Amino acid sequence: MLQTKQWSMDWGGRTLTVEVGKFALQANAACTVRYGDTTILATVVKSKTIRDGIDYFPLMTDFEEKLYAAGKIKGSRFMKREGRPSDEAILTARLVDRAIRPLFDESIRNDIQVITTALSVDGENDAAPVALLAASCVLNISSIPWNGPIGAAHVGMNEKGEFILNITSAQMEENNKLDLMVAGTPEKLIMVEAGAAEVSEETFFNAMKWGCEQLAPVVEFFKKIQEEVGQTKEVVVEDGVETVAQQVKRTADKFISDNAEKLIFKTPKVSKDERKQMIADIQDALAEHLTAQGFEESDQKKTLGEVKYLICGEITKKILDSDQRLDGRKLTEIRELQNEIDLLPRVHGSAMFMRGDTQVLSVVTLGAPGDVQTLDSMEEDGTKRYMHHYNDTPFTYGEAGPLRGPGRRAIGHGALAERALEPVLPAAEDFPYAMRVVSEVMGSNGSSSMASTCGSTLSLMAAGVPIKKPVAGIAMGLASDGGTNNGNVTKWKVLTDLQDVEDGAGGMDFKIAGTVDGITAVQMDTKTNGLTWDLVEQTVKQSREARLQILEVMASVISEPRADLSPYAPRIVTVLINPEKIKDLIGPGGKNINKIVDETGAKIDIEQDGRVLITSSDGEQMKLAIKMVKDCTREVEAGEEFDGKVVRLEDFGAFVELLPGKDGLVHVSEISWERVNKPSDVLKLGDIVKVKVKEIDNLGRVNLSMKVLKPKPEGFVAQDPAPRQMGGGSRGGFSGGNNNRGGDRKPGFFKKRD
């Protein structure tokens, strides 16, 4: 018999419910968290054995996206099972990971896996914050050491500037000024993920603080649940005997600390190569020292592999004590910036952005409206017209290794840069292109995602994409005593333009992107138990100063979008047609539209409001495609002349195709001034003939004449035409065929031909 227990509370106008004891009973701990009708199952498992030989905390965080949760079946005809995680699922997993990771003991070497699974989504309450709440709750009631609980909230803002707690999808469509996710407690901020429409720094800071203040009842709610059903937390028992590994670590730490001035700070280390060489030299000196102290080589290996982290600790101390950074910069100083555009000859737009050793090449490709990405995930439907893809390779980090597809980090960095540019993109009505930017990271040493944001801005402007304003981004770092004070920050300094050796224990990576007028995207993670609000406020203010400096340097290369597109980019022309004529343009089974595409090579996209978007890189073929579209959808008028194609011959006349799917009849008496017994005597199928529209009768039938376009013979005397049998019944001097070219014409002849 299942022993279930349930708790509920009202939060933000909806019910938050936690249930334990029903699912996943073999996990270390499991619970479901429901908000509205969005329900997430969270589980945590800790391996019973320690992974030997690793120098990191092996935490795995996954978000399982289930299409059944949204009542959907996968769109592919051949694959209905969920496959690899969607980008949205990966981003949610990363969001959860960044919030819970800082609260673990980093010395743990057991595998710990947290899985959040979407069992139900209601389309209104975002699954991501519910997944984070579920992860917090399950870790809190488990036996695994974890310094929680924390809460999470999704914050929006209405037109009046008022903040909205856990904004719904419908509210977000109406008020998309702010899309902010925060995690932490009322006192501390642990994680931020946000997009914004140029929100001021002051407003953004207030939104983060307000969102965390709303977490107070949730944190107390989780504490209450832990008191009732929480497992006893595991405690690492120290036996008081120092192991050999601990002795080596203590000896190494003292050696580096005692010799820091000589080994680390004797000269500034500006380049990454200099810092790599410094680490290698310290490893050699430390190995010699440890050997002299009597430690075996096998005992030294683990500590020698962690030298970089020991160095980071000394660098943090130096910054806190004397504001001295390893490369000699001031705390608010940005590394050298280099920008260049038009690096590649045939692409639609390209730019290089370089900040210190971080170098990114961003390349723009413009496509037809039909090249947009179709979204078909658990919570997303529709299309995406702007795509940013981030690529890195082993050489990016000066290493060798196998080439694989983009990992979770690359997908996350690409999404952040994409979000940063979205608020300044032109509207589809003004610029209907599909836009793809690929950022190739040529070198990484501190915030390649923000370098990708800057590179994307430059390349889009170089390509002639009319973005509203340039966007730049900067990564802010932190030197604090949080790495040596159980994660609690009491002494700190904010660093502008974070780089490798500065991102150690007690640090943060606070990325902020925006324009001169406000913030467009933010992402933050920390290696502390949370950031105090005075620290966060200082970071936001300091980042603006850096962003404005970067924007100024970028403007020296290109300050606004070019007026013209690259000659290699396709052109899009919009033709407006009567929406009722869309079926004529498409034709039966797509016959007409396929013919236009096949003959011109153009891409045709049709909107329901009658806009026909024609995309082509060939000017002449573009003109032909425009003509063919107009010909398919326009009305034939009396008096017009055409070069038509003979498509059917009958005894009473010839049918001539004037426009795609539209025929007219040349009666036998209108073929020539001379008497013609049968049309087949002078015409054959496929002939191109000049015709003039005599009239369009009240049934919409088109009557043509060939002879009126020819000189009348001298002395011509008109004769009455002999009566003829036509299609099962005499119609005198006028008759015609139906849409299938056989028998009498019927009403509707002027419509498309099958």
pLDDT confidence bin for 751, thresholds 50/70/90: very low
In angstroms, the CA 569 to CA 572 distance is 10
Respond yes or no on whether the N-terminal peptide bond of residue 149 is cis (omega within 30° of 0).
yes
In angstroms, the CA 651 to CA 645 distance is 18
In angstroms, the CA 217 to CA 60 distance is 28
Last residue of some domain: 277, 294, 322?
322
Is the pLDDT reported for residue 539 higher than 80? yes
Question: Tell me, what's the pLDDT at 201?
Answer: 97
- Mean pLDDT, the chain, integer: 90
Together in a domain, 379 and 420: yes
Residue type, 535: L
Summarize the confidence of residues 139-158 as an average pLDDT: 96
- DSSP-assigned letter for residue 741: S
Together in a domain, 507 and 456: yes
Is the pLDDT reported for residue 739 higher than 60? no
Beta bridge partners of 525: 509
Cα 382 to Cα 76, 122, 127: the distances in Å are 15, 17, 18
In angstroms, the CA 690 to CA 713 distance is 18
Question: Tell me, what's the pLDDT at 746?
Answer: 35
Is the pLDDT reported for residue 743 higher than 50? no
Give me the helix-helix angle, 272-292 and 244-258, nearest 10°.
120
Q: How many residues does the chain have?
A: 754
Together in a domain, 11 and 101: yes
pLDDT confidence bin for 724, thresholds 50/70/90: very low
Q: Which helix (H) or strand (E) holds 171?
A: helix 169-174
Phi, psi for 147 (deg, rounded to 5): -90, 55
Question: Tell me, what's the pLDDT at 362?
Answer: 98
For 699, other C-beta atoms within 10 Å of its C-beta total 12
Is the pLDDT reported for residue 431 higher than 50? yes
Together in a domain, 375 and 493: yes
Question: Tell me, what's the pLDDT at 238?
Answer: 57
CA pseudo-torsion sign 394, 399, 401, 407: negative
Together in a domain, 436 and 492: yes
Last residue of some domain: 260, 293, 322?
322
Question: Tell me, what's the pLDDT at 720?
Answer: 57
pLDDT confidence bin for 730, thresholds 50/70/90: very low
Together in a domain, 394 and 426: yes
Q: Which helix (H) or strand (E) holds 405?
A: none
Together in a domain, 474 and 347: yes
Is the pLDDT reported for residue 147 higher than 50? yes
**Is 560 domain-assigned?**
no
| Token reading at 301 | 């290996």
Which residue range is the domain that position 652 belongs to?
637-754
Question: Tell me, what's the pLDDT at 715?
Answer: 72
Q: Strands 434-443 and 386-391, how do they pair?
A: parallel
Which residues, other chains included, contact 463 with Cβ-Cβ below 8 Å and sequence gap of 6+?
348, 349, 364, 366, 562, 565, 566, 569
pLDDT confidence bin for 80, thresholds 50/70/90: confident
Over residues 55-73, the pLDDT tens digits come to 789 999 999 999 999 998 8
Looking at per-residue pLDDT, the higher value among 358 and 381 belongs to: 358
**Is 431 domain-assigned?**
yes
- DSSP-assigned letter for residue 423: G
The DSSP secondary structure of 128-167, one letter per residue, reads: HHHHHHHHHHHHHHSSS------EEEEEEE-TTS-EEET-
Q: Which helix (H) or strand (E) holds 314?
A: helix 307-322
Domain count for the chain: 5
Question: Tell me, what's the pLDDT at 97?
Answer: 97
**Is 192 domain-assigned?**
no
Radius of gyration, alpha carbons of the chain: 35
At residue 553, the 3 state secondary structure works out as helix
* Closest to 152 (Cα-Cα) out of 194, 124, 122, 118: 194
Last residue of some domain: 527, 555, 583?
555
Is the pLDDT reported for residue 190 higher than 90? yes
Over residues 226-282, the pLDDT tens digits come to 999 999 999 865 556 778 888 988 999 999 999 999 999 989 988 888 888 999 999
**Is 566 domain-assigned?**
no
- The domain that holds 718 is classified in CATH as 2.40.50.140
Query: Which residue, chain included where needed, has tokens 């307000």?
Result: 210
Together in a domain, 44 and 131: yes
Over residues 498-529, the pLDDT tens digits come to 998 888 889 999 999 999 999 999 999 999 99
Query: Which residue, chain included where needed, has tokens 């932490």?
Result: 184
Over residues 672-712, the pLDDT tens digits come to 988 889 999 999 999 999 999 999 988 888 999 999 999 88
Q: Which pTM was predicted?
A: 0.86
Is the pLDDT reported for residue 736 higher than 90? no
Kindly report the CA angle at 648 between 647 and 651, in degrees rounded to 5? 150
Question: Tell me, what's the pLDDT at 240?
Answer: 60
**Is 329 domain-assigned?**
no
Biggest distance spanned by C-alpha atoms of the chain:
129
In angstroms, the CA 236 to CA 70 distance is 43
pLDDT confidence bin for 582, thresholds 50/70/90: very high
- The domain that holds 424 is classified in CATH as 3.30.230.70
**Is 193 domain-assigned?**
no
Summarize the confidence of residues 137-142 as an average pLDDT: 98
Range from 138-142, 151-155, 447-451, 730-734 carrying the lowest mean pLDDT: 730-734
Summarize the confidence of residues 719-729 as an average pLDDT: 45
Together in a domain, 575 and 543: no
Together in a domain, 618 and 646: no
Together in a domain, 616 and 652: no
To the question of whether residue 509 is assigned a binding role by annotation, the answer is yes
Question: Tell me, what's the pLDDT at 35?
Answer: 98
Side by side, the strands of the sheet bearing 38-50 are 5-11, 14-20, 29-35, 38-50, 110-120, 59-64
**Is 452 domain-assigned?**
yes
Query: Which residue, chain included where needed, has tokens 């290996």?
Result: 301
In angstroms, the CA 455 to CA 362 distance is 5
Over residues 449-482, the pLDDT tens digits come to 999 999 999 999 999 999 999 999 999 999 999 9
**Is 609 domain-assigned?**
yes
In angstroms, the CA 225 to CA 8 distance is 10
Residue type, 423: P
Half-sphere CA count of 434, side-chain side, radius 13 A: 18
In angstroms, the CA 346 to CA 367 distance is 15
Together in a domain, 291 and 179: no
- The domain that holds 597 is classified in CATH as 3.30.1370.10
Range from 96-100, 243-247, 337-341, 384-388 carrying the lowest mean pLDDT: 243-247
Question: Tell me, what's the pLDDT at 718?
Answer: 65
Can you give the three-state secondary structure of 477-530, one letter per residue? EEEEHHHCCCCCCCCEEEEECCCHHHCCCCCEEEEEEECCCCEEEEEEEECCCC
Question: Tell me, what's the pLDDT at 243?
Answer: 80
The counts of H helices and E strands in the chain are: 16, 29
Share of the chain above pLDDT 90, in %: 72
To the question of whether residue 62 is assigned a binding role by annotation, the answer is no
